[in-house]
């Protein structure tokens, strides 16, 4: 049996073992590989830094559950930190059932009070609203009838001073959606961007990028943060290296490994094609 035939019939458990090593090694021993800054990271940073103005109402929506956390949580933390450096009003809501729990985890790492944000005056949590796009439509039409009470204190929204001027979708100045699927950007577009022209920036997992590009090109999405690599670049732009920078070495090595597997697999395929 030639070497190419051996490769062709290699037990897949060896590729699994190597994958495990290739991911784990840089996580345990950070390699400090260089991270070039892509246009996506610049666009996201510039939008949050320059286009979101003091006094703006930001709808911050973690639209994912635990399965999306490895890829999306770092950008959620970094973006929240960036927003908190500005003088904006932040409304946190989710149309994914685990969204509020994801945000609870975020609060273990970022305390808005450290940035001078007072709950109920500068920021508020509205929790999870079931009903997917219907709920988003209802939320856009009337926030106070869709959500009767806040998530933390269970008080009526009318009792919070900041909510007096935030009554409906039209009062939202920008949406920051970090998401893994449906409901997500297409639903936001239909319920907020189309009727009110609400600008939006979206952070998503790598595989969702292809579906997001038409919205970027049409100008409906002001910025897109696709996956962990761009999150790491954003952390560098923020000068706050965090979870993404810590994990991006593993992204590099694992992607290099996959590329090598594709090349070796195809070489073996062509070298043994006649035999087969």
Q: Which of residues 42-71 bind another protein (CB under 8 A)?
A: 65-71
- Measured CA to CA in angstroms, residue 251 lies from 42, 98, 115 at distances of 20, 26, 32
Q: Using the 8-state DSSP alphabet, how is residue 37 labeled?
A: P
SS3 218: coil
What is the H or E stretch that residue 115 is in? Answer: none
Q: For another protein, which is the closer residue by CB, 38 or 117?
A: 38
CA-closest candidate to residue 201, choices 216, 184, 221, 220: 221
Smallest distance, another protein to C-beta of residue 53, A: 29
Ranges within 76-135 binding another protein (CB under 8 A): 97, 100-101, 104-105, 108, 127, 129-132, 134-135
The stretch among 52-60, 83-91, 112-120, 140-148 that binds another protein (CB under 8 A) is 140-148
Smallest distance, another protein to C-beta of residue 35, A: 5
Q: Give 126-174 as a DSSP string.
A: EEE--SHHHHHHHHHH-HHHH--B-TTT--BGGGSGGGGG--SGGG--E
Smallest distance, another protein to C-beta of residue 254, A: 7
Smallest distance, another protein to C-beta of residue 112, A: 15
Residue 117 and residue 69: Cα distance in Å, rounded?
Answer: 25
Q: For another protein, which is the closer residue by CB, 2 or 269?
A: 269
SS3 92: strand
Smallest distance, another protein to C-beta of residue 142, A: 6
Smallest distance, another protein to C-beta of residue 56, A: 26
Q: For another protein, which is the closer residue by CB, 87 or 153?
A: 153
Cis peptide before 91 (omega within 30 of 0): no
E strand segments, the chain: 57-63, 89-94, 123-128, 174-179, 200-204, 221-226
Contact 67, 100 (CB under 8 A): no
Q: For another protein, which is the closer residue by CB, 53 or 218?
A: 218
Q: Does 259 bind another protein (CB under 8 A)?
A: yes
Ranges within 238-257 binding another protein (CB under 8 A): 248, 251-257
The stretch among 43-51, 52-60, 138-146, 169-177 that binds another protein (CB under 8 A) is 138-146
Smallest distance, another protein to C-beta of residue 137, A: 6
Residue 81 and residue 85: Cα distance in Å, rounded?
Answer: 7
The stretch among 50-58, 78-86, 114-122, 209-217 that binds another protein (CB under 8 A) is 209-217
Give the total residue count for the chain.
276
Smallest distance, another protein to C-beta of residue 114, A: 18
Of 217, 219, 274, 276, which one interacts with another protein (CB under 8 A)?
217
Q: For another protein, which is the closer residue by CB, 68 or 199?
A: 68
Q: For another protein, which is the closer residue by CB, 175 or 216?
A: 216
Which tokens in the block code for residue 31?
């390699």
Which tokens in the block code for residue 194?
């189309």
């Amino acid at each position: 049996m030639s070497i190419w035939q051996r490769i062709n019939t290699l037990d897949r458990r060896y590729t699994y073992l190597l994958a495990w090593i290739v991911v784990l090694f840089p996580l345990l021993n950070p390699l400090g590989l260089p991270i070039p800054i892509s246009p996506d990271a610049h666009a996201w940073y510039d939008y949050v830094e320059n286009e979101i103005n003091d006094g703006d109402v930001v709808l911050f929506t973690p639209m994912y559950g635990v399965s999306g956390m490895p890829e999306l949580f770092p950008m959620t933390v970094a973006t929240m930190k960036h927003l908190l450096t500005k003088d904006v009003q932040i409304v946190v809501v989710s149309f994914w059932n685990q969204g509020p729990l994801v945000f609870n985890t975020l609060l273990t790492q970022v305390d808005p009070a450290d940035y001078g944000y007072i709950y109920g005056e500068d920021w508020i949590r509205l929790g999870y609203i079931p009903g997917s796009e219907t709920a988003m439509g209802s939320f856009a039409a009337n926030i106070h009838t869709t959500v009767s009470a806040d998530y933390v204190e269970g008080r009526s929204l009318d009792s919070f001073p900041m909510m007096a001027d935030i009554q409906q979708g039209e009062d939202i100045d920008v949406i920051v959606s970090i998401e893994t699927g449906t409901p997500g950007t297409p639903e936001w577009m239909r319920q907020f961007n189309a009727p009110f022209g609400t600008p939006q920036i979206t952070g998503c997992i790598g595989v969702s990028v292809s579906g997001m590009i038409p919205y970027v090109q049409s100008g409906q999405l002001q910025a897109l943060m696709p996956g962990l690599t761009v999150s790491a670049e954003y952390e560098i732009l923020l000068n706050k290296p965090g979870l993404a920078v810590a994990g991006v070495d593993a992204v590099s090595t694992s992607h290099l490994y996959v590329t090598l597997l594709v090349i070796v697999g195809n070489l073996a395929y062509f070298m043994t094609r006649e035999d087969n």
